[in-house]
Structures are given as structure tokens and as C-alpha cells.
Amino acid sequence: DTGVSQNPRHKITKRGQNVTFRCDPISEHNRLYWYRQTLGQGPEFLTYFQNEAQLEKSRLLSDRFSAERPKGSFSTLEIQRTEQGDSAMYLCASSSGRMTDTQYFGPGTRLTVL
């Protein structure tokens, strides 16, 4: 069990550029979640997957955001035409999906949009 990993850990980009983040969940976990955390706030839910199926998307996830989880393994979160308001920590978590299970978080990707 190597835990949830996320890459890159930091990303600085210019407004209008596209960025993509990757999350590798714990290997036996079939649920994968994306959250966004801005400074001084708690994480806010963006979307989640059960295997390769995207089951729910938050209203926070505008049409510039897209997430995928091909083959039910790793997931990518892409932001197109980044805006300064997209600057945040993007957290990934995974769980087994059982009622009693816990979500385990990765270290996050900190995005700064200049």
C-alpha cells in the first residue's frame, strides 16, 4: 500500500493555458474523488468515479474542467483556459466504496495561475 499519489505537486501557469493533473489511487480502491481547497477553507467536492464511471459532478466543475478515469485506474483532471480564480490546491482521495471505508487523501497539486 503506497498511498494516494498526485503529480505534479506544484504547477504554475499563465492565465489562458491548459493544465492537467494526475492522481494514482490506492491500488484496490475503486472509488476516486477530486476536491478543491482554497486558502483558509475546507476542501470542496468536485467529482467522483466508481471505477471508470463518473457518477457525480459538482456545480463547481464548470465546462472548462474535465476529469477522466480510463480503465478505472489513475485519473486526470484537466482545466482548460485557466483563470486566476482556479488557483487552489487540488486534492485527490480514494476509497474502497464500502460503507465502512474511509477516504484516503493524496498530497495534492497546488495550482497557481498568474
Partner 1 sequence: AQTVTQSQPEMSVQEAETVTLSCTYDTSESDYYLFWYKQPPSRQMILVIRQEAYKQQNATENRFSVNFQKAAKSFSLKISDSQLGDAAMYFCAYRYNTDKLIFGTGTRLQVFP
Q: What residues make contact with partner 1 under the rule CB under 8 A?
A: 31, 33, 35, 40-45, 48, 56, 91, 93, 95, 97-108
Closest to partner 1 by CB, 14 vs 27, is: 27
CB 55 within 8 A of CB 40: no
Closest to partner 1 by CB, 63 vs 99, is: 99
Instruction: Give the C-alpha separation, 66 to 42, whole Å.
Output: 22
Which positions ≥6 away from 15 have C-beta within 8 Å?
82, 83, 84, 113, 114
**Minimum distance from CB of 109 to partner 1 (Å)?**
11
Closest to partner 1 by CB, 2 vs 14, is: 2
CB 23 within 8 A of CB 70: no
Closest to partner 1 by CB, 18 vs 53, is: 53
**Minimum distance from CB of 110 to partner 1 (Å)?**
9
**Minimum distance from CB of 44 to partner 1 (Å)?**
7
- According to DSSP, the β-strands at 75-79 and 104-105 are unpaired
Q: How many residues in total does the chain contain?
A: 114
